[in-house]
Structures are given as structure tokens and as C-alpha cells.
Structure 1
């Protein structure tokens, strides 16, 4: 089985270094847990279960997103969202280093974890996880999301070039993701004594909320990239 490895290294204000190794199955793009830890009670499926969750507790007793996020909650228990950290992300292709806020660094990690967790409402994000861009800006995220979805539409519905249909389905995906984010935030609030993990998720949710708005505005934020200069 081929694997993709991504490592997040957090240098925290208290001089601790927390390292998270994410190993993904290259074919399924789901996270592989070599040594899974016991899951906390707040990660049970029924605890603040997402209203749009298709699963039943007797079939799947644990929320896949909550289970994957449990480790980061424990490690950042005493870190505040505005604390400055040094973040280093290692992939096979490159190393990214940046001094940033705890909530922004954690949000970047959370986005990758949620996309590869196995949650049915984050499956559409798997192609973006394959080409993960740490600490992506809002504009970068919007561009990557639309590009990824257009390519997915090309492969899954060959010959169907209906752009409106493509973007309407992307809007539906992000609307469902907002529902997941709200429920996961409730879980994190119950599990955390500080705000870094909760605010990191709120930071991610801002992108989910922005997507339907961008679609409604006919992608005007990106139009300039494809508009020829006058005189050409």
C-alpha cells in the first residue's frame, strides 16, 4: 500500500514541541492510524451529533472527525488562540515554515484531518488533501476548491459542461460542511478549557461560509485572473 506522509511540527510558547504525523492511504486518501488512542467520550457519535449525519450509533459508535481531532485537543489544552507559534510542515515535495497564531496553525492541521477523516460530508475535500497547502489564504482556498471541483465534475460526469450545475453542487457540499463545523465546535467547547482549538475550527468555518457567497457572486473575486489585459 502506497502512503503519503505529512508532518506538522508546532513550536509552542512554553518551549514545547508537538509533532503530528499524518499518514494517508494514497488510493483512498483516508488517514491511517498505526496506533489509535482510546477515544474520549465527547467523540461518541451521539454527542452533539451533526443534524445531517447519515449514521446511526449502533452502526458506528464514534464520530470520525471527533476521533481524529482528539489528539490535538489534548496537546493544545493550555494554548490560547492568539499565542504566537512557529509552524513547520513537511511533505515529500517541500517544507513550509511560518511564524503564525496558534489558531491559524491549528486550523490548517484541522482542515487536513477533517478532509481525510472518513466523514461523508468531507469526502469532497480529499483531492485538496492530496495536494495539501498549509496555511492557505482565503483566496488560495477559494481558487483550489473551485479548480478541484471542476476537475471532479470532469471525471465523474464526462461530457456535462454545465457550469451552473457544477457550482450548485459545490455550494451544497459547503452548506453541509457548515452544519458539520457547528456540531464539531460544540464538541470541542465541551472538551476544551481554552479557545485555540474552537477558534481554529471557527476560522475554518469562515471559508465554508464564504463559498456559497462566492458562487452567488458569479466568482467575481477570481474573474480578474482570466480577463485579458486591454490591448492584447
Structure 2
């Protein structure tokens, strides 16, 4: 099995936590989610999302929650605004930043969520493959819409009906908002500090506002594509 590894290295005073996130290169599933006895808060029916298509018969545990076990365990004592030194190492680059605990954890959490077995997060696997920590709002909008439109290209090539109006993208984000909110309910009940809970809230803030930002930002980005538009008009 070929693996893709992304390392998150957190430093704060005496705290030094290293996460080696190994992904199956074929399906981009997180390979570190096996636990002999997952905690009760990861059971599928524990604050289960109302839009969850999984059942207890096939999935006794929420795959997304299981992906977060190690993160929750190792960051229980961090406060949201603790200042940390974070280094993220991918095959392509090394990114270092001084940031808050909640922002660093949020970046790692986003990667773990995208590579979980939750059906509502499958759509984020292409972004996980080209993981970009600390992406700005503009970068996130660009990457999200670009990946979605690339998917429409493949759908069209295979005889499907492409969605060029991005209606499906809005639906994806509506579903992920529900997922984020219910994962936050789980985490509130099992963590003493606020850094992990606020990390998922930060992700949900992006999910809530991204649909509106996409429409506004795409109009603002139009000037970047004038050469394509001019070429089309000349044909």
C-alpha cells in the first residue's frame, strides 16, 4: 500500500506533540483510526447527526469521531489562545507558523475530517490530497470551487450532467455545517479546555460563510480570467 504522510509538529513550552498523518494514496483514508475500544462518545448514536446516512448495524462508531480520538486526548489541556509554534511537513513543502492553539488544531482537524469515512466529507478528499495549512479565505474559496469544477469536468467526461452553477457545492456545505455542529456537541461533553471545541467551531465558521463568500469572491476574481474570456469571444 502506498502512503502519503503529512506531519503536524506542535510546540508550546513543555508540550511537544507530533502527529504523523498517514493516508492511503489510493482512497485518501486516514490509516491511523483503528482503536480496539473507542470511547463511548464516538458511538454513532451519541449526538448522531440528523443527516447521517449510516446505521448502527454497519457502523457502530462514527468514523469522523473515531478519527479525532488522538487529537482530543493529546490536546485536552490546551486553551484556545495559547500561542504555539506549528510546523507542517508535506512531500512538497514545509510550512512554519506561530499561531493560536485553536487555529493549529483546526487545520489538523480539517485534514482528519476530510479523510474520515463520513459520507458527507468524501467531497473534501481532493483538497486533503493537496493539503494547504493556514489557507486564507481567498485561497479556500479558490481551492474549493476549483476542485468542485474539476469534478464536474470528470462527470461530464463520463456522460453525467455537470453542475456549473455550483448548486451541489452549496448542498455539500449545508451538510457539513450539520456535521460540524454535532461533532462540536460530542466534543463539548468530553473535553475540559476549549481549544478542541473552538477548533471545530472555527471550521464551522468557514462552512457557514463560504457559500456567500464564493459568490462574492468569484465575481472579484473575474479579472484574472480575462485572457480566457477574450479568447472565447474571438473564436
Calculate the TM-score normalised by the size of structure 2.
0.90
Instruction: Structure 2: state its 5+ residue gaps.
Output: 228-235
Describe the shift of the 1:126–1:150 C-alpha distance in structure 2 as closer, same or farther (beyond 3 A).
same
Report the count of equivalent residues: 225
1:32-43 equivalences in 2 (<5 Å)? 32-33=31-32, 36=35, 38-43=37-42
Q: Which moved more, 1:36-45 or 1:111-120?
A: 36-45
Please say if residues 214 and 221 of structure 1, whose CA atoms lie closer than 8 Å, have aligned partners that are also in contact. no
2:213, 2:220 → 1: CA distance? Answer: 7
- What's the CA shift for 1:59? 1.8
Aligned to 1:151: 150
1:37, 1:105 → 2: CA distance? Answer: 28
1:209-220 equivalences in 2 (<5 Å)? 209-217=208-216, 219-220=218-219
Please say if residues 138 and 217 of structure 2, whose CA atoms lie closer than 8 Å, have aligned partners that are also in contact. no
1:18-57 equivalences in 2 (<5 Å)? 18-33=17-32, 36=35, 38-57=37-56
Describe the shift of the 1:60–1:10 C-alpha distance in structure 2 as closer, same or farther (beyond 3 A).
same
Instruction: Structure 1: state its 5+ residue gaps.
Output: none
SS in 1 for 2:181: helix
Query: What RMSD, in angstroms, separates the aligned Cα atoms of the two structures?
Result: 1.8
Please say if residues 171 and 215 of structure 1, whose CA atoms lie closer than 8 Å, have aligned partners that are also in contact. no
Aligned to 2:164: 163
Q: 1:148-195 deviations in whole A, cap 9, x for unaligned? A: 00001101223756521xx00000001000000000000010111111
Aligned to 2:121: 122
Aligned to 1:100: 99
Calculate the TM-score normalised by the size of structure 1.
0.91
Please say if residues 114 and 121 of structure 2, whose CA atoms lie closer than 8 Å, have aligned partners that are also in contact. yes
- Match status 1:110 vs 2:132: no
Q: Which moved more, 1:117-126 or 1:204-213?
A: 204-213
- What's the CA shift for 1:40? 1.1
2:29, 2:162 → 1: CA distance? Answer: 29
2:93, 2:209 → 1: CA distance? Answer: 29
Aligned to 2:232: none
SS in 2 for 1:219: helix
